[in-house]
A and B are shown apart, each in its own frame.
Chain A
Amino acid sequence: MRPDSAAHDRPRSPFAGCLGPAMFAYIAWTWWQVSRAQIVALPSSAAMSPGVGASLALIARVLGWLLETGYYVLWWKWRGRALPFGWYFQWTAAISMVDLLAEAIRREGAAGAWRMWLVGAAPWRGMEAGSWAVALGDVGLLALVRLALVIQAQREALAPIGWGPTGIVAATWLAGRLAAVWTHDLLGGARLP
């Protein structure tokens, strides 16, 4: 049952064959809709039409995926391993479907213990939530699933490999959260009553 060596050398794409373009178009469209709904829900959104804002948000998101892909590709290149850029970019975009699921659960509304376990407690707290709540409030089961998928994608492309992907992904995630806390505090200023 073991695949032949040529197929084994080539890591799997997230979506098989002609399903790929359709799935990526669907992911992009869904993110566009999510961003548009978020803009419409803002108290003041007169500066820009929601459609234009959502398009810019989608461009920013794709740039973020490119940046994330480049970050890991360069890390592994530095470590003497090759992580294919285009292939990993596809996985980065595909894994964002977990974020879409989390977003859908958050938007679903009322708080419930199971929802908090899935997507964290932050969505049901107010704007006044502290910086640690901002940084860690969206940590739930889906955030862990997302991290596991990122690690698994790297493990698949770099196999055989030990704990390296787990280490760099976890360290990057923690550094990102720390940076989020610091940035939140710096932008928000000192705490007030």
Chain B
Amino acid sequence: MVRTGIGWLWVLIMASLAALGLMWWSDQRHDWERPRWEPGRFVPILTTQGADDRPPRVVAVQPRCPSCLAGLERVAANRTLLDSRRLVALIVDSPRAPDSAFAYTLAVDEVWWDAEGVWRRRWGRRVYGETYDFDRLGRLTGSGHVLKLVDP
């Protein structure tokens, strides 16, 4: 009786491993969109007054992620007027639009809200604090993480 129970436990463990492998295989085969900065797909919360044609560096921010908020704060604090990129916070995985008071506390050039879940469901991104460098045409030129960002 006990051995039968343990046998089922092994079946469960093997099935879990197989399910994980199946998820991985399915994820690898999924045709994710390459990230592209298209402001029309996001909701503006705080945008630049006047023309700022510098290419954007977008940081994926989840309001309840303390480490990525702290990393963004550090990067924002270290910026200079001569920065070659405008710093954009993209609020992701947030069912409600962030209020403007929260947006101001981020101290970035722009704040956008990913209301449609483009970041997760279209781009296939999952790591809060990831950064995406786009050129002026919105094409992805590089990526990283806000906690590893040395060159603002």
- Which residues of A approach B to under 8 Å, CB–CB? 42-44, 46-47, 74-75, 77-78, 80, 126-127, 175, 178-179, 181-183, 185-190, 192-193
Name which residue of chain B comes closest to A77, CB basis: B6
State A179–B28 Cα separation when bound (angstroms): 15
Do B127 and A187 touch (CB < 8 A)?
yes
B125 x A74 contact (CB < 8 A): no
User: B148 near A127 (CB under 8 angstroms)?
Assistant: yes
Name 26 A/B residue pairs within 8 A (Cβ), A-sorted: A42-B67, A44-B71, A46-B70, A47-B67, A75-B10, A77-B2, A77-B6, A78-B3, A78-B10, A80-B3, A175-B17, A178-B17, A182-B21, A182-B23, A182-B24, A183-B20, A185-B28, A187-B126, A187-B127, A189-B32, A189-B124, A189-B125, A189-B127, A190-B30, A192-B143, A193-B143
Q: Which interface residue of B17, B24, B74 has the most chain A CB atoms within 10 A? A: B24
Minimal beta-carbon separation of A49 from chain B (angstroms): 14
Tell me, yes or no, whether B50 is within 8 Å of chain A by CB.
Answer: no
**Chain A residues positioned under 8 Å from B66 (CB to CB):** 44, 46-47
A127 contact set on B, CB distance < 8 A: 145, 148
Contacting residues, chain A, for B124 (C-beta < 8 A)? 189-190
| B7 and A78 form a contact (CB under 8 A) | yes
Within 8 A of A (CB), among B1-52: 2-3, 6-7, 9-10, 17, 20-21, 23-24, 27-28, 30, 32, 35
Smallest Cβ-Cβ distance to A192: which chain B residue: B143
B84 at interface by CB-CB < 8 Å: no
List the B side residues contacting A192 at CB < 8 Å.
Answer: 35, 132, 140, 143
Report if B147 contacts A (CB, 8 A).
Answer: yes
With CB as the reference atom, state the residue of chain A lying closest to B26.
Answer: A186
**Across-interface contacts of A189 in B (CB, < 8 A):** 32, 123-127
CA distance in complex: A186, B27 (Å): 7
Minimum CB–CB distance from A10 to chain B (whole Å) comes to 24
Are B20 and A179 within 8 A (Cβ)? yes
**A44's contact among B6, B28, B70, by CB below 8 Å, is which?**
B70
What are the residues of chain A within 8 A of B17 when measuring CB–CB?
A: 175, 178-179
A192 to B127, CA, bound (A): 12
| Cβ contact within 8 Å between A43 and B67 | yes
B67 adjacent to A78 (CB under 8 Å) = no
CA A190 to CA B27, docked complex, whole Å? 8
Taken together as a complex, chains A and B put the C-alpha atoms of A189 and B67 apart, in Å, by 19
**Residues on the B chain within 8 Å of A46, using CB:** 66, 70
Q: Which B residues are in CB contact (< 8 Å) with A188? A: 126-127
A43-B23 in contact (CB<8A): no
Q: Chain B residues near A47: list those with CB within 8 A.
A: 66-67
